[in-house]
Amino acid sequence: MDNYIVSARKYRPSTFHSVVGQKSLTTTLKNAIINNKLAHAYLFCGPRGVGKTTCARIFAKTINCFHPTPDGEACNECESCRSFNENRSLNIHELDAASNNSVDDIRALTEQVRIMPQLGKYKVYIIDEVHMLTQSAFNAFLKTLEEPPHHAVFILATTEKHKILPTILSRCQIYDFNRIGINDIVEYLEYVAKQENISCEREALNIIAQKADGGMRDALSIFDQVVSFSQGNVTYKTVIENLNVLDYDYYFRITDAILQNDVPKCLLLLNEILSKGFDGQHIISGLALFFRDLLVCKDPQTLVLFEVGDAVKEKYLESARCCETAFLYKAMELTNETDLNYRYSKNKRFSIELLLIRLCQLKASSEGSDKKKIVIEAISQKGDLRNSENATDFQDSKNTVAPNVPKISTEAGKLPEAPGKSIVRVRLNGNPEQTGKPETVSSQAEKPIQDLPFSREDLIQSWKNYANQTEDVYLKNTMAYINPQLKDGYKIEAEMLNPKQADHFRENSPAIREYLASALRNSRIELDIKIKTEDHTQTLFTDKEKYLYMVNKNPSLKSLVQKFNLRLD
């Protein structure tokens, strides 16, 4: 039985051309070899599994090749190349700094640097995980790294460049390796599967590439694992089952339920997902990424950021058409907020359920806000509609509260008289010049139709009634907090906490004013919006003053102090 070799080793690139996803770096290295402009020290840095050590080995083999190709590749036929391929080359030394990070290890390395190469031009020293060297080891390495012999080349590899001393960085040419793209990983996995006669679905390989997070070594390791599980038939179903990946179909179903404001269906889908053993944090982060993908799909310019198969992309595009951009913005904000607070929650399942409920309400409140805007626009245009030839009645609807507008009939041969107009005055902080958008409401005469007096109790009751019937959650909470004041018999003063609250209330003020005028039977009602100003001045009290204040609130405290013979220090 032949010895099994994992794909990460078996299909490790042996030439610059076969390196995946690092074309700019490999081109730079090949040009340096062709032009014979080699530096004495290089630093390869980047995430794990992206080809740092592989490129270092290829570079070391190529600069010692006796007959390099015109495009800067090794010939793989000369004695130097054969010795490297058979792992018997004496010109290449690899040191794992994770386990050989002491001063003695570096001193032993520097002593070997003085020995000339027996075959080839250069002796190459590859130090992997160089950031693990101690401070003393770095200092012992500085002089040799700055002025090595002409035959010595150092290649340092690390995943954490920020841990390396600036004095080391200044002595090296730095090459930053990027994460490998999902499409590049999928294409290479297809190549490996073809070489191994393994049938696979592209969507399955896409899931493996996403799980690898930009690392080719991780992708090949996961690929071997899935092949063993599926016995050579890699499908999307076997991949998500083996890797415990949540099927994207659940996210589509949850989104559809949210758009339909179907809270029970959302909770049932969550229960189904949790029953399969998925972690709640994974569900939240996956839902946030799903909303992000939908947002990316809505704009053709950002569609290039969406890396999935063509079959799945069509589903995302169809779902993105059903979602408004504002809804996706808010949904991403809510999922991110829940993701941050999830680890501190004592009832984790309730946190996810609350997120789904808020997402459903988000869609419902958005629809209610749109209806409210339509009603406000209709109210503001009533005066113009009355003068039109096809003017119709404005009837009360279930979702809006506005007074009925009487129909104006005209006699034959006569035109209706131009009705008078009353202005809804919205003042900010008592300044009549800082008014909101004027809304015109037509009346049948210059004199108000109704002018009945009303009490503050009547005002508060009508105020609460409007707050209870509105579908705007933000406006409902605002009106519930505000305690309206009645001035001069018909002026209503509303004090807001902040400018944002005042702006939102001002947008809805025409409809609020119309409702109050109808409910209280007084068309002279005006809304005066103010912003609460806080007094930030602080007063320091002595201990005695604090004690007297507490005694005034609770006289029994004085008897307690006397009983235990307490005193103020």
DSSP calls for 42-71: EEEE-STTSSHHHHHHHHHHHHT-SS--TT
pLDDT band, residue 157 (cuts 50/70/90):
very high
**Residue 312 bridge partners (DSSP):** none
Between 465 and 446, the more confident residue is: 465
Closest CA to 418 of 384, 466, 379: 384
Q: Taking residues 90-107, what's their average pLDDT?
A: 86
**Structural domains of the chain, ranges and CATH numbers in brackets:** 7-176 (3.40.50.300), 182-242 (1.10.8.60), 248-368 (1.20.272.10), 420-531 (3.30.300), 539-569 (no CATH)
Q: The pTM is what?
A: 0.58
CA distance 333 to 327: 10
Between 407 and 216, the more confident residue is: 216
CB-based contact 44:52 (threshold 8 Å): yes
pLDDT band, residue 396 (cuts 50/70/90):
very low
**pLDDT value, residue 268:** 92
Percent of the residues in the chain that have a pLDDT greater than 90, as a whole number: 11
CA distance 246 to 281: 12
**pLDDT value, residue 267:** 92
* Tokens, residue 91: 């010109």
**pLDDT value, residue 174:** 92
**pLDDT value, residue 400:** 41
Between 416 and 476, the more confident residue is: 476
**pLDDT value, residue 156:** 92
Between 563 and 433, the more confident residue is: 563
Between 535 and 392, the more confident residue is: 535
**Residue 421 bridge partners (DSSP):** 442
**pLDDT value, residue 440:** 40
**pLDDT value, residue 154:** 92
Percent of the residues in the chain that have a pLDDT greater than 70, as a whole number: 81
CA distance 184 to 182: 5
Buried b (16+ CB within 10 A) or exposed e, 230-251: beeebebebbbebbebbebebb
H-helix or E-strand spanning residue 176: strand 173-176
| pLDDT beyond 60 at 499 | yes
Q: How far is CA 76 from CA 13, 80, 394, 444, in A?
A: 13, 8, 87, 98
Q: Taking residues 315-341, what's their average pLDDT?
A: 88
**pLDDT value, residue 433:** 41
pLDDT band, residue 430 (cuts 50/70/90):
very low
Q: Could you report the per-residue pLDDT of 167-196, keeping only the tens digit for each?
A: 889 889 999 998 888 888 988 999 999 888
**pLDDT value, residue 367:** 59
Residues with Cβ < 8 Å from 21, sequence gap 6 or more?
A: 50, 51, 178, 179, 180, 181, 184, 185, 216
Region for 518 from its dihedrals, namely left if φ exceeds 0, alpha if ψ lies in -120 to 50, beta otherwise = alpha
Q: Taking residues 392-402, what's their average pLDDT?
A: 41
CA distance 303 to 288: 17
**pLDDT value, residue 548:** 82
State the Rg of the chain over Cα: 38
CB-based contact 150:175 (threshold 8 Å): no
Place of tokens 């009490």: 455
Q: Could you report the per-residue pLDDT of 40-76, keeping only the tens digit for each?
A: 899 999 988 888 999 999 999 999 888 888 888 888 8
pLDDT band, residue 569 (cuts 50/70/90):
low
pLDDT band, residue 365 (cuts 50/70/90):
low
φ, ψ for residue 496, nearest 5 deg: -95, 160
- Give the DSSP letter of residue 445: S
| pLDDT beyond 50 at 390 | no
Q: How far is CA 46 from CA 55, 99, 168, 199, 472, in A?
A: 12, 20, 17, 32, 50
**pLDDT value, residue 278:** 86
CB-based contact 126:57 (threshold 8 Å): yes
pLDDT band, residue 537 (cuts 50/70/90):
low
pLDDT band, residue 385 (cuts 50/70/90):
very low
Between 270 and 450, the more confident residue is: 270
Mean pLDDT of the chain: 79
CA distance 123 to 148: 11
